[in-house]
Structure 1
Amino acid sequence: MTEFGIAVPQDVGELESMTLREYLETAESLGFDGLWVSESSGVSAVDPLATLSFAAAVTTRARLGTAVLITNRRTPMQLAGDLASIDRLSAGRLIAGVGIGNGTAEYPSYGLDPAHRAARFEDGIALVKRLWTEDRVTFANRWWTLDDVRVPVRPVRVPHPPIWFGARARPALDRAARLGNGWIGAGSASPESFEESLHTLLPLLDAHGRTADDFTIAKRVYLHVGDETPDVAERVREFFGSHYGNADLAATIPVVGSAARIGEHVEWLESLGVTHIIVHPMVEPAEQMERVARDVVRN
């Protein structure tokens, strides 16, 4: 049965028009299965892990996920401890969505060398898993040296919280199939691009001995339930201009229209094997959350 998560507002401008506590509590009461944050390079976005810590305090049931966390920005020791803390605070509700990011322009501001970023990413995930599952860890490579250390807190989930990978290119999809517990299709992927990536992923899952029982396929969907009025169209363009620097994505990425139109898109995703859909309203998120819950999720 398909699960539905919902994006949590993090933009400072959005948060000025609503109470985050009320949004999170309402989302959970409406039956959403997951509350999802993302990591942005923008200066106006609240930190994703701080947001999830807040969500852990004001909710009790919904899973808390990152879609996705750009893990190269953090050391494995820091990342393992921060994520384990959220898993503890939420009684084991964390889903760690991770990714490598779209580029390296921001690396200097984090004191990072852009070289070998894929290797750094994969080594970092492997080290986080060791820190979560081993009593003491000794490790050394070109980036980190750990001498008989342990993280101060371990996750509730055993062996560790599920790790879902954001990926598009074949090497990244292969990494997801080898190392992950799931894959999150990007919200910015067109239907055609998503289906192409999925057709690349499925043989890789078979090659690595993975099955639908131990690997989740998820997709973020930008949507708006209602008529595409000129005002809605303009605000959707503003959304993509702000979040992706490309307002023209509004013509090919989001699903806008009646509840029946949204439902058809959900059915198409389900036919491809998607079992967790992250809905992401672009306009009036609190109002849209209630419409999606009433007119799409419950149907």
Structure 2
Amino acid sequence: MLTGRFGIDIPQGGTTPGAGQQLVRFTSEAERRGFTSLWVTDPQAPGALSPLETLSVAAVSTSSASLGVAVLITPLRSPIHLARELATVDRLSDGRLIAGVGIGNDRAAPARHGLTVNRRVTEFERGIVLLRELLEQQTASSDGPWNLDQERRPLEPVQRPGPPIWFGARTPPALERTARLGDGFIGAGSMSTRDFETALDLLRPHIEERPDFPIAKRVYLHVGAKTNATWSAIRDWFGSHYGNPNLAEKVALCAEPGEVIDALTHLLGLGVQHLVLSPVLDDYDQMVALSESVLPHVTAS
């Protein structure tokens, strides 16, 4: 059994037959092997399972692992609808949800969803405040674009006052917002270790009075030899998911166990409490390899 705070991403490619059974098998085995959290992303490209519905399956196929999403692009969602969805996952999991949120980098995305966001940052912040009220209070009101007057809470979550809300952030204003409105910080997988260290330097002055403020980092990786075929497949994955295959050079860790151990140990040394490991290829086999060949040694280091 692993010790420490090691999480792993749940595969969200749901286009093959038996996707539900594969999801149950992966999540239950990951928990059995000691991963303490299971995570999903909020993919905007076609062909991926929806994040909170995926976590609902994980909620009933596991019993102890935290269930996280990092990050939900909340400007694309109604706070009322999202509050019910988050509370549903929290209920189904008996209070194990971590809700990661972010504003998103695609400024054209709201228009594709039939939304108009004239004041992007302001409305994002107001939406998060309203979401908290809908999760934590009996009623909520807002004079913003939602025009709510004593709106009843859609569903009461298990956690009190509500599921923790972690922020994804990069820029100085976003990191200040993380400390002001959030319960934790998670560095994106698309953020290099150097950029993550810079972000931590910017964040820490804002959380000096909050010593228990959680810090997490997603890491894209592949345990094994960096062959031409493997690296080509990794580049293709980044091209498909980010539209930029060259991003792999900056953020993907493809190496034998010893080098992976060193890289993860370095991140823990920066003060990271939660490592969210995201295998780029061969999800199940990589989950096994990480649990057997890598993470026990990271813990011992």
- TM-score, length-scaled by structure 1: 0.94
For the pair 1:41 / 2:44, whether they are aligned, the reply is yes
SS at match of 2:251: coil
5 Å matches for 1:219-298? Answer: 219-298=217-296
| 2:214 paired residue number | 216
CA–CA distance in 2 between the matches of 1:191 and 1:152?
39
For the pair 1:202 / 2:200, whether they are aligned, the reply is no
The amino acid of 1:267's aligned partner reads T
CA–CA distance in 1 between the matches of 2:139 and 2:91?
20
- TM-score, length-scaled by structure 2: 0.94
The amino acid of 2:234's aligned partner reads V
Gaps of 5+ in 2: none
Offset at 1:13?
Answer: 5.0
The count of aligned residue pairs is 294
5 Å matches for 1:1-299? Answer: 2-12=4-14, 19-141=22-144, 143-206=145-208, 209-211=209-211, 213=212, 215-299=213-297
SS at match of 2:246: helix
Offset at 1:114?
Answer: 3.3
The 3 A distance-change label for structure 1 pair 15 and 280 is farther
CA–CA distance in 1 between the matches of 2:247 and 2:141?
46
The amino acid of 2:296's aligned partner reads R
CA–CA distance in 2 between the matches of 1:15 and 1:281?
21
- Whether contact under 8 Å (1:9, 1:15) holds in the other structure is no
CA–CA distance in 2 between the matches of 1:284 and 1:252?
21
- Whether contact under 8 Å (1:69, 1:99) holds in the other structure is yes
The amino acid of 1:286's aligned partner reads Y
What percent identity do the matched residue pairs reach? Answer: 44
CA–CA distance in 2 between the matches of 1:272 and 1:16?
40
- Whether contact under 8 Å (1:218, 1:274) holds in the other structure is yes
The amino acid of 1:35's aligned partner reads L
Structure 1 stretch displaced more, 182-191 or 150-159: 150-159
CA–CA distance in 2 between the matches of 1:166 and 1:264?
25
- Whether contact under 8 Å (1:281, 1:289) holds in the other structure is yes
Offset at 1:11?
Answer: 2.3
- Whether contact under 8 Å (2:83, 2:154) holds in the other structure is no
- Whether contact under 8 Å (1:131, 1:151) holds in the other structure is yes
SS at match of 2:201: helix
SS at match of 1:252: helix
Q: Which runs of 4+ in 1 moved over 6 A?
A: 14-18
The amino acid of 2:36's aligned partner reads D
- Whether contact under 8 Å (2:137, 2:153) holds in the other structure is no
Q: CA RMSD in A?
A: 1.5
The 3 A distance-change label for structure 1 pair 107 and 291 is same
- Whether contact under 8 Å (2:169, 2:186) holds in the other structure is yes
The amino acid of 2:223's aligned partner reads V
- Whether contact under 8 Å (2:134, 2:154) holds in the other structure is no
